Amino acid sequence: MDREKRKEEDFSLPRLRAGDRAEFARLVDAYSGVIYRLGLKMLDDPQDAEDILQETFIKAYRYLKDFDGRSSLSTWLYRIATNEALMLIRKRKNVPLSFDEALDPDQEIEKPLQILDWCCMPEKELMSAEARLYMQQAVEQLSPGLRAVFVLRDIEGLSTEETSRVLNLSESAVKTRLSRARMRLRELLTAYFGERMSALGLVEPGDD
In the complex, the residues that contact another protein under the rule CB under 8 A are 4, 21-22, 24-26, 28-29, 32-34, 36-37, 46, 50, 53-54, 57-58, 61, 108-109, 111-112, 115-119, 126-127, 131-132, 135, 154-157, 175-176, 178-179, 182-183, 185-186, 189-190
Q: Which is nearer to another protein, 142 or 167 (CB)?
A: 142
CB of 27 to another protein, least distance (A): 10
Q: On the CB side of 82, how many CA atoms lie within 13 Å of its CA?
A: 25
CB of 94 to another protein, least distance (A): 26
Q: Which is nearer to another protein, 96 or 159 (CB)?
A: 159
CB of 183 to another protein, least distance (A): 7
Rounded CA-CA distance 162/71 in Å is: 9
State how far the alpha carbon of 4 is from the alpha carbons of 73, 158, 180, in Å. Answer: 13, 12, 28
Rounded CA-CA distance 95/99 in Å is: 6
Q: Which is nearer to another protein, 50 or 101 (CB)?
A: 50
CA-based nearest residue to 162, from 84, 101, 77 = 77
Please check whether residue 200 is in contact with residue 125, taking contact to mean a CB–CB distance below 8 angstroms.
Answer: yes
- The H-or-E segment that residue 147 falls in is helix 144-150
Q: Which is nearer to another protein, 4 or 140 (CB)?
A: 4
Rounded CA-CA distance 206/38 in Å is: 40
| Residues contacting 99, CB < 8 A, separation 6+ | 90, 143, 144
Q: Which is nearer to another protein, 70 or 111 (CB)?
A: 111
Rounded CA-CA distance 33/186 in Å is: 28
Which amino acid is it at 106?
D
Q: Which is nearer to another protein, 95 or 134 (CB)?
A: 134
CB of 85 to another protein, least distance (A): 15
CB of 165 to another protein, least distance (A): 18
